[in-house]
Amino acid sequence: MEAPELLRLWVLAAVALGGSRAALPDHRVLPDDRVSSKTGAIFVHKLERELFQEAFLTGREDDGATPITFQAHLRDHPDLPRWLRYIQRDPHQSGYLYGCPTATELGTHTIEVLAYNRHTYETVAQRLIVTVIPAPGGEPPYQGEFLVGNRNVEELLPVATRNIFLQATAGVWEWDDLHIINITSALDRGGRVPLPIEGRKEGVYVKVGSWGTFSPCLVAAASPESRFRCSLGQQPLASCYDTFAPHFTIRWCNLTLVSPTCPPPHPMKHPHPLLTITPLQLQVWPNPTTPGPVWGSGVLEEGGDFQPPTDAPPQDLLPGYLVTLLVPLAVAMLLCLLLGHLMCCRREGVQKRDLETSDIQLVHHTTIHSDTEELRHMASSRDGPRPLSTLPMFNVRTGQRINPMPTPSDGARVPLLPP
């Protein structure tokens, strides 16, 4: 079949298959969603399944059980910004975009979200425009990071759960101006994946900030004495009531406190109305002062040229080559000389050995040697008559070598003496 006819058949088949529009997956675009985020505070955006499910063109009777998966990336980039993460535990649950922007992330970030209907392969797209603004007053100077052992990261992202956690933290911190700075899964910190057992969670690190100093309870839990007790497998020191129970299980041995080296210039806010604060001098790990590496956008500016790294200066490899080659040869030569000396120069010799051996041992050895030689000589000359006792049948009366009695074929059953 010629190529034009084959192409015409392919076109007709495509038109016939595309006659039913409902059989082909469709794509829709939702209006842009504009949100804002402050530096030094957690940003959480929930990807509602219901919103994207209503945008699908084809309807199903079991729409509530339709699996929907999301994909999110920065516009004109294959991945999300480094401060933003995405989590969706199951296709039947909503997804979350969460993270904590820093001062280097100021500006507008356009996130493209694509939802897939796993039954009909339809897609719905939406642009999420995130505007990062600086926080008024800057970041709080006192920060504490708690490890929640009985939760997964998506369980702490809803607003209601975060408010409950802040209320529990205020009972231990003894200040009410707390806010969550960041939420990180323990798996992102090198934690191990939990066993598939009911009740086992991956764990979540929650960083909380405040303008008020730490309470004596937190200071005691992060003291060197508590660290020493944790190294022994014991519970750390805690002089207050654990207000996190029973909703949150805190791993107090993983508590981390960060405080400024000098009092903050920001005015202190009112403490918790039901608790009393006592002045406390605390020196924990200070904030790092050395600036980290500056991360660029990863895209060359217009008109810019890529400058490859300069060539490495030439190196003299002869010393390394000589060391690698000559050292093993020298060691092998020394070992050969030592082995030759032990085998050749350290031999005793027969005369020296006989002089150091007693006469009795020499006579005994000579006797054994001569007897052995005699037995070997006798074994080599076997042409003579065999002893009568070694014959298969022997009569002690007559001395005959052959049995005079007719015997059956089995001679083992015939007695030696005649009846």
Judged by DSSP in three states, 259 sits in: coil
- Pairwise CA distance, residues 180 & 199, whole Å: 25
- pLDDT exceeding 70 applies to what percent of the chain? 72
Q: What is the pLDDT of residues 170-226, one digit of tens each?
A: 989 988 889 999 999 999 988 888 887 888 899 999 999 999 899 888 888 888 998
pLDDT band of 347, cuts 50, 70, 90: confident
Mean per-residue pLDDT, 229-251: 85
pLDDT in tens, 32-89: 999 999 998 999 999 988 888 888 866 555 556 788 999 999 999 999 999 999 999 9
Alpha-carbon span 84 to 81, nearest angstrom: 5
Task: Give me the chain's average pLDDT, please.
Answer: 78
> What Å distances lie between residue 115 and 55, 59, 84, 127, 302, CA to CA?
10, 16, 18, 11, 33
Beta strands in 134-276 (DSSP E): 142-148, 179-185, 204-210, 256-258
Q: What is residue 189's DSSP assignment?
A: G
Instruction: Output the six-digit token pair for 39.
Output: 């530096």
Q: At a CB cut-off of 8 Å and minimum separation 6, what does 253 contact? A: 226, 227, 230, 236
* pLDDT tens, residue by residue, 260-292: 754 443 434 444 443 333 333 334 444 455 565
pLDDT at 298 over 80: no
The pLDDT-based confidence of 5 (bands split at 50, 70, 90) is: low
Q: Which CATH architecture has domain 23-133?
A: Sandwich (2.60)
pLDDT band of 300, cuts 50, 70, 90: low
Side-chain half-sphere CA neighbours of 91 within 13 A: 11
For residue 26, pLDDT beyond 70: no
Rounded Cα gap, residues 237 and 240, in angstroms: 9
Q: Please give the pLDDT value at position 208.
A: 94
| End-to-end CA, the chain | 111
Q: Cα(98)–Cα(71) distance, rounded to whole angstroms? A: 14
Determine the Cα–Cα distance for residues 183 and 206; give it in Å rounded to an integer: 5
Write out the two tokens for 130.
């995130």
Q: What is the pLDDT of residue 290?
A: 57
Q: What is the DSSP string of 297-336?
A: -SSPPTT----PPPPPPP---HHHHHHHHHHHHHHHHHHH
**Per-residue exposure over 381-419, b if at least 16 CB sit within 10 Å of its own CB, e if not:** eeeeeeeeeeeeebbeeeeeeeeeeeeeeeeeeeeeeee
pLDDT the model gives residue 265: 39
Say if residue 245 is exposed, middle or buried (CB neighbours under 10 Å; 0-12, 13-18, 19+). exposed
Residue 370 has pLDDT above 50, yes or no: yes
What local confidence, expressed as pLDDT, does residue 309 receive?
72
Q: What is the pLDDT of residue 160?
A: 93
pTM: 0.57
Residue 402 reports pLDDT greater than 80: no
**The pLDDT value given to residue 6:** 55
From-to residues of CATH 2.60.40.10 in the chain = 23-133
Average pLDDT over residues 310-317: 81
Region 90-104: mean pLDDT is: 92
Look-up: residue for tokens 């911190």? 173
Beta bridge partners of 384: none
Cα distance between residue 121 and residue 28, in whole Å: 12
